[in-house]
Amino acid sequence: MIRHHLPDDLLLSMAAGTLSAGPALVVASHLETCAECRGRLHSLEIAGGVMLEALVPETLSSQALAKTLAAIDAPPRPVRARVIAPRPRPPLPAGMAWPRALETCSATPWRWLGPGMRWSRLMLPADPKAKLFLLRIGAGMSLAPHTHSDCELTQVLHGAFHDGRDLFGAGDFDAADDTVHHQPMVQSDGDCICLASVEGRMRFDSRLARTLAALIGM
């Protein structure tokens, strides 16, 4: 059961199409599994359509119709068949599937982050500079205490963690900024895998954790 949902400001940005590629992908991953948030997003999109209809119409140029008809009558351009190669992905636990939102992404293999902790960097064709990660942390393990210079969006894909504020399980969403100081600890019944988009930097308390975060781009 999903207990932590998308905040209104993120849903509004998603409806308006103003989210950057990394955060939008994490939001889309949550929407795949959350009927409640999909319904709220649909309501916002309807409200946006009503507002557009209320706008004063703009006058078109005298050539607008002729240009449109010419574009319709123009012969179609030949389209080359594209062969889509399988995208590299790190292995997942049995029974776990990739979110559809990640279909256009490739990912590095699991890399060592610390005892019982692995990470993978996701590459988005639409925004190669997006800081998007998969984190896989073993049962009973925890990230180092930290806060954030900007915003970190997290979607729990598998397992569960508690960060001192609340318990976050599969399907739950979390948004954390510089007002949140926490230490996510994975529950004892199995690994936890999260999809995270990092804007700015994660600010770890310890010097070693800060060094490791800088090396991997967090």
Whichever domain contains 163, its CATH number is 2.60.120.10
In a domain, 183, yes or no: yes
Confidence band of 85 (pLDDT split at 50, 70, 90): low
How much is the pLDDT for 50?
A: 65
Residue 196's closest CA among 142, 125, 119?
Answer: 119
Which residue did the predictor score with more confidence, 94 or 33?
33
pTM: 0.83
In a domain, 43, yes or no: yes
Q: Do 187 and 121 lie in a common domain?
A: yes
Q: Do 125 and 208 lie in a common domain?
A: yes
Q: Domain span at residue 209?
A: 105-216
Condensed to tens digits (0 to 9), the pLDDT of residues 123-158 reads: 998 898 999 999 999 999 999 999 999 999 999 999
- 103-124 average pLDDT score: 93
In a domain, 201, yes or no: yes
Choice among 56-65, 135-144, 171-180, 196-205 with the minimum mean pLDDT: 56-65
Q: Contact, 139 vs 189, CB < 8 A?
A: yes
- 86-93 average pLDDT score: 80
In a domain, 13, yes or no: yes
Condensed to tens digits (0 to 9), the pLDDT of residues 6-62 reads: 999 999 999 999 999 999 999 999 999 999 999 999 999 888 776 666 667 777 787
Q: In terms of C-beta distances under 8 Å and separation of at least 24 residues, what long-range contacts does 161-164 make, across chains too?
A: 161/137, 161/185, 161/186, 161/187, 161/192, 161/194, 162/187
In a domain, 164, yes or no: yes
In a domain, 95, yes or no: no
In a domain, 196, yes or no: yes
Q: Contact, 160 vs 168, CB < 8 A?
A: yes
Count of structural domains, the chain: 2
In a domain, 168, yes or no: yes
